[in-house]
Amino acid sequence: MQLSKRVQQVAPSVTLTITAMARALKDGGKDVVGLGAGEPDFNTPQHIIEAAIQAMNAGHTKYTPASGIASLKEAIIRKFHRDNRLQYTANQVMVTVGAKHALYNLFQALLDPGDEVIIPTPYWVSYVEQVKLAGGVPVLLEGKEEDGFKISTSDLAAAVTERTKAFLINSPSNPTGAVYTKEELTDLGRVCIDQNVTIISDEIYEHLIYSGQPHISMASLGEEYYNQTVIINGVSKTYSMTGWRIGYVAGNADLIQAMSNISSHSTSNPASIAQYAAIAALEGPQEPVATMRTAFAQRRDFLVAALQQLPGISASTPAGAFYVYANIAESMKAKSIKTSAEWAQKLLEEELVAVVPGSAFGTDEHVRLSYATSMEQLEKAVERIKRFVDIQ
Ligand SMILES: Cc1ncc(COP(=O)(O)O)c(C=O)c1O
């Protein structure tokens, strides 16, 4: 079978090998501790599940407009106003099959062959591959560990070329948990405005910040920022709804129309039932979000403190999301291991703990550990990682 050149450029997910291995071990009856998954361990709050049942009973089981039902768009518009002080109209908003689909459609709608997208490293795995699938060129910009994995304004300005079409910012970040301040966002956004570079702001972890620092939406920084920015968001992380597949995007009306046209020929609408559930998520009680956030904060503090005690591992406290991006360079050296993938694979084989190697996120001296799992599992994981890194 001769596959397209386009698809041959796409790298298989580095995480797949580990995930497949972890699954095989689990299926074989092994007690694997999974710190790989990017999803909360909590079930979706009950009132959201009830809303989905009600929607089915009410017959909302048919096609909807490709860009989503009007009542969900209204709920999204109210959410932007409530949480981010942003004003959008229905033609500036679109519902998608998860935030991942919003990003995919966005790159398809925005990029011509050779157009560059500046992506800070470490980055979320799919950005780079999605840009390539759209014919674009990912331009990686290093967020240095000593700067909390954040990029600087001068580095961004230096990376912009005539071909730069977009700059992607993800705050709070997956995998590092870094949260940019208002001043930092103002300066980064200014570079993009001055050079007419579209800002893609992935704000999917906006409600998962533990440092007391506020989440600032890039689009909220003034009219120029609002006009230049496309916001990506969704209900997956905030409401523990990863399986429901509802994301959303807000920005320029022509762009949203183009993205909606793409959806109308590919996925059609996101699941009708999940759309009704998402209304309940956005408009219903927000206490479950606070409960999850409190639990994540406790787990984060436990995991970081425990990792800091381990030889060969260093980890700083992430401000948001639900991952610790730990530096394993010393441990790799001590164990004569060459790559983060090999380190992760050995940890899984020898101690049955699944983590994601940093190579999936563009750095090869780290691993990502998700703390979206129970304290019990985290305690078990730490004990095992300790055995793994201890060199007698
Ligand atoms: C930074 C970031 N953006 C987007 C997504 C996609 O989320 P979903 O497609 O589940 O809405 C994820 C999920 O892991 C993510 O971590």
- Within 10 angstroms of residue 349's Cβ, the number of other Cβ atoms is 10
pLDDT at 18: 77
Q: What is the pLDDT of residues 14-42, one digit of tens each?
A: 767 777 888 899 999 999 999 998 889 99
E-assigned strands of 116-263?
Answer: 116-121, 137-142, 164-170, 198-202, 229-234, 247-250
Question: DSSP for 48-111?
Answer: HHHHHHHHHHTT--S---TT--HHHHHHHHHHHHHHH-----GGGEEEESHHHHHHHHHHHHHP
- Which residue is closest in CA terms to ligand 1's atom 1? 174
The third-level CATH classification (topology) of the domain covering 51-283 is Aspartate Aminotransferase; domain 2 (3.40.640)
Mean pLDDT of 63-86: 98
> Which of 13, 76, 97, 100 has the most ligand 1 atoms within 8 A of CB, as the residue to mutate?
100
**How does pLDDT run across 47-65, given as a tens digit for each residue?**
999 999 999 999 999 999 9
- Give me the residues paired with residue 366 across strands: 327
- What's the 176 CA to ligand 1 centre distance in angstroms? 14
- Looking at residues 163-186, what average pLDDT do you find? 98
- 392: pLDDT strictly greater than 60: no
Nearest Cα neighbor of 227 from 188, 260, 179, 192 is 192
Q: What is the pLDDT of residues 312-360, one digit of tens each?
A: 999 999 999 999 999 999 999 999 999 999 999 999 999 999 999 999 9
Q: How far is the CA of 12 from the centre of ligand 1 (A)?
A: 17
CATH for 5-43+287-389? 3.90.1150.10
User: Which CA distances in Å does 123 have to 96, 172, 200, 317, 392?
Assistant: 21, 11, 13, 18, 35
- Residues with Cβ within 8 Å of 110's Cβ and at least 6 positions away in sequence, in order, are 134, 165, 166, 198, 255
Ligand 1 close to Cβ of residue 98 (< 6 A): yes
**Hey, which of 104, 125, 204 would you mutate to test ligand 1's pocket, going by the most ligand atoms within 8 Å of its Cβ?**
204
- Predicted pLDDT at 350: 95
> If DSSP codes are grouped into helix, strand and coil, which group holds residue 46?
helix
Same fold, 5-43+287-389 and 51-283: no
Domain boundaries, the chain: 5-43+287-389, 51-283
Indicate which atom in ligand 1 lies nearest the CA of residue 205: 1
Whether residue 100 has its Cβ less than 6 Å from ligand 1? yes
pLDDT at residue 201, as a whole number: 98
Mutate to test the pocket of ligand 1, among 119, 130, 174, 209 (most ligand atoms within 8 A of CB): 174
Residues 6+ apart with CB under 8 A from 365: 327, 328, 329, 332, 340, 358
Average pLDDT estimate for 212-232: 97
* pLDDT confidence band for 257 (50 / 70 / 90): very high
Q: Is the peptide bond before 172 cis (omega within 30 degrees of 0)?
A: yes
Q: How far is the CA of 314 from the centre of ligand 1 (A)?
A: 26
104 CA → ligand 1 middle, Å: 11
38: number of Cβ within 10 Å: 19
Q: How far is the CA of 391 from the centre of ligand 1 (A)?
A: 37
Measure 249 CA to ligand 1 centroid, in angstroms: 13
Interval between CA 20 and ligand 1 midpoint (Å): 20
Backbone torsions φ then ψ of 188, nearest 5 degrees: -65, -45
